[in-house]
Structure 1
């Protein structure tokens, strides 16, 4: 028998990104308005954020509202925006006390002015915290993010500030909304759907994926821990060849 000390230690997923899907269906299945599901989903976010550092997560990115979600009813969109604002207002003290740095990615220009002020305020307040890095994708779409980045780099090249020949992967990454945030190790999608839905296409190019049928309001810390355990034994080669 081989020496157990030679066995590879399980890999840790220090950056986990989550597509939080299924809030509306969770409520509809119970005969309730969709916004009830979104409010329940916000409660689940609080629980996951509080537990994340204890199970080895240092970076957590959650998909809160996509560029395509504007197609939903006005009532649902306004309700979601209200939930986002309420979360920031009510959780600001706890996040700061728990050492959570909060950031946002996505195009803020379409968001309500009050919500934008709240976002800037909590980003500023928590900027020096390091226990957990929480990133919320709001009015975010991966293609939109890349398009905005290309436009910026093209305009810089047009006035001679950068040489187009110098544009590479690293430069593009430095100009994405997620600049300074490591690429995710693991992307989880709840609700049984098996699409990536325009979430972090650049950053998650080599991430591992896990799709669970659990609707987001029912997604527990225990299930997250189980997923992390499975991730720990995956062989990540990044295009290379496995070594003995």
Structure 2
């Protein structure tokens, strides 16, 4: 038979109270259960831990030595139990998200989460779809938010929202209904390879045109928007990224 945490807790309570009746009441056990636990403990150790004097248990030298050894152990185990019971709303969540999501969707979500869980820290890594997938597979993040399509059996996926891609330009001469084959030779500015936005767009038009004139590749949606305002270029980006510009007639 081996020592149990329950036996040690009962022993320490008996040391503190001195009377089995008080310990039984405090722990919600019968007096006989407390007495039996102490006897089992003494049998395991091969020595009495108390002197029985006038129906009172007095800790003897062996008992004092045993108390000295187990008191810090029991305290540490209680601390560990408390610590783990209260970690549900603590710690750090490592999040990865594609550029468009970081810029236009994540800020209010993160603020709301931090208000609801003030003791949880958030680590946010930004990248394109391919980079976020690699971070997730490498254990560098706990969850990822992307726009692109992922065909990887190692990744657990769930659709949580639907976005719309739009073709935009500041060139007023193109401000009319057009077909992709009539603008494929325009100067296209797209996101870099690995971007979900780019992959979805090119996959959509591949059956309609052989290729488009990719004039420049940039790694950030805001950089593309700035370029479009100053040059007669064209792009395809998330509608969320240009909703303010569309609203204001830019």
Q: TM-score, normalised by structure 2?
A: 0.24
Higher relative contact order (Cα pairs below 8 Å, separated by 6+ residues): 1
Q: Based on CA coordinates, which of the two structures has the bigger radius of gyration?
A: 2
